[in-house]
Amino acid sequence: MDVKINKGILSLTEGDISKQDTAAIVNAANKTLRGGGGGDGAIHRAGGPQILDECIKIGGCETGDAVITTGGQLAAKYVIHTVGPVYRDGLKGEPQLLQNAYNNCLTVASSNGIRSISFPSISTGAYRYPMEDAAEIALQAAVGYLKGHDDIELIRFVLFGAAALKTYEKKLKKLS
């Protein structure tokens, strides 16, 4: 599903974030940036040791912040690493931290001249953020950014599984 917003496109697809050919992909990382399971591990494995070397030099990332490294051997030239919140009950600042993660990734992309970016659904795996709530926050951040900025031409959400894709499609239809 693709929707035009301002001068950009917001796209939803099911797939593997590590195989995207956008200028940057987003890694839903842990605070150490040393790799982990799921998409984080897949990005580090596919991108090779250069990504980890740069992550070690950076030293870590706080929840809601974002940092950039090379894409190593990935099709994407860059990886923007962000740490989403671990979901507890939604009352410990998780919505704002998740919104910050998306907004900070987009700000890093813009400040590095990146015109296309692929996101996973941040925090909805091991960090247990409810998919419905996370999709709404993610899409509001993306739509808001595209409405206010002309520099990013494509924001793609690469979702793991048909259920996640359907949730995002339903939320996007309500927003657009």
Q: Which residues contact 108 (CB under 8 A, 6 or more apart)?
A: 66, 67, 68, 80, 114
Residues listed for the chain: 176
40 given a catalytic annotation? yes
Q: How far apart are CA 4 and CA 7, in angstroms?
A: 7
* Cβ neighbour number for residue 4 with a 10 Å cutoff: 10
Q: How far apart are CA 48 and CA 158, in angstroms?
A: 21
Q: Which one is catalytic: 40, 65, 89, 133?
A: 40
Catalytic residues: 40
